[in-house]
Amino acid sequence: MIITLIQYLYSVISGVLVGFSLGLIGGGGSILAIPLLLYFVGINDPHAVIGTTALAVGINAYINSISHWRRHNINLRVGLVFSALGVIGVLIGTTLGLLTKGDLLLFLFSFMMMGIGLYIFLTKCRKSNEDVAGQTKVEKSSDAKVSSFGVLAGFASGFFGIGGGFLIVPSILYSSNLNMNRAVGTSLLAVGTFGMVTAIRYGIAGQIIIPIAVLYVVGGIFGGMAGARISSGMNKTLLRKIFAVIIVVVGIYMAIQNLSAI
């Protein structure tokens, strides 16, 4: 696949936009990586797009996990159990994804986008380390429960080629009883692992563009810093709702573009 210089430039811009949205609202931004690479950068192979964005999301998640680790916001046991068993789901998901026609995969992905948009729109922005009573939650978890949710989240992540933080964070919250900040930090281990395993699987199939993934990551770092700085003092709830609407609109556009798949 021949990539032009302008497409490399657009890849950096796309990375900035994804990182900016993540920094601005604190999550969900990576869902835009696939449509940006498809419709803005102009990569027309859906499987190559999924493999490439999975690598970028995986690297970015591992980078972001460093700061959470330093702030002691990662439960290593929960993260390892969730990720290790989740890899099984990822491998099943990526295998099915590679066997699915590109336009059908994008059509299904569009409904996933709309679902994510509605989820972000309807859920409140939680900032606290603590529960409603103001006391830190006791961290109890069942390995069986954590691993079960890990497999399910891994499958969705592998099949659609997304980080799945929108799904992984609630899964960890429900299965382990970690507080929000610890769940977010711990989820990055799973997002990174799922992204890298997906990328390796797609790479073996020759469906990955490494230079674009690297440019996505570089752009995302600068975009994330800018988004985090601008978001200070802004109405996070309003920002999340606006972002959610954008995701739903993009999802509808993708569904219309891939109607031929049905």
Confidence bin at 89 (pLDDT 50/70/90): very high
Query: How confident is the model over 108-119, as a mean pLDDT?
Result: 89
User: How many C-beta atoms surround the C-beta of residue 39 within 10 A?
Assistant: 14
Read off the pLDDT of residues 4-39 as tens digits, 9 standing for 90 and up. 999 999 999 999 988 887 777 666 667 888 999 999
- Higher model confidence: residue 123 or residue 122? 122
What does the pLDDT read at residue 202? 95
What does the pLDDT read at residue 40? 94
What does the pLDDT read at residue 134? 42
Domain boundaries, the chain: 5-125+137-261
Using a 10 angstrom Cβ sphere, with 0-12 exposed, 13-18 middle and 19 or more buried, the burial of residue 224 is: buried
Return the exposure string of 84-123: e unless at least 16 CB atoms fall within 10 Å of the residue's CB, then b: ebbbbbbbebbeebbebebeebbbbbbebbbebbeebeee
Residues in the chain: 262
What does the pLDDT read at residue 126? 53
% of the chain beyond a pLDDT of 70? 89
**165, pLDDT greater than 80:** no
- Higher model confidence: residue 227 or residue 211? 211
What does the pLDDT read at residue 162? 77
Ranges 60-64, 120-124, 131-135, 248-252, most confident? 248-252
What does the pLDDT read at residue 208? 94
Q: What one-letter code names the amino acid at 71?
A: R
What does the pLDDT read at residue 196? 94
Read off the pLDDT of residues 36-49 as tens digits, 9 standing for 90 and up. 999 999 999 999 99
Q: Answer yes or no: are the C-beta atoms of 31 and 240 closer than 8 Å.
A: no
Confidence bin at 73 (pLDDT 50/70/90): confident
Confidence bin at 130 (pLDDT 50/70/90): very low
Query: How confident is the model over 190-208, as a mean pLDDT?
Result: 93
Residues contacting 60, CB < 8 A, separation 6+: 19, 30, 216, 217, 220, 221
What does the pLDDT read at residue 232? 67
What does the pLDDT read at residue 38? 93
Query: How confident is the model over 71-86, as a mean pLDDT?
Result: 91
Query: How confident is the model over 104-120, as a mean pLDDT?
Result: 89
Query: How confident is the model over 102-116, as a mean pLDDT?
Result: 91
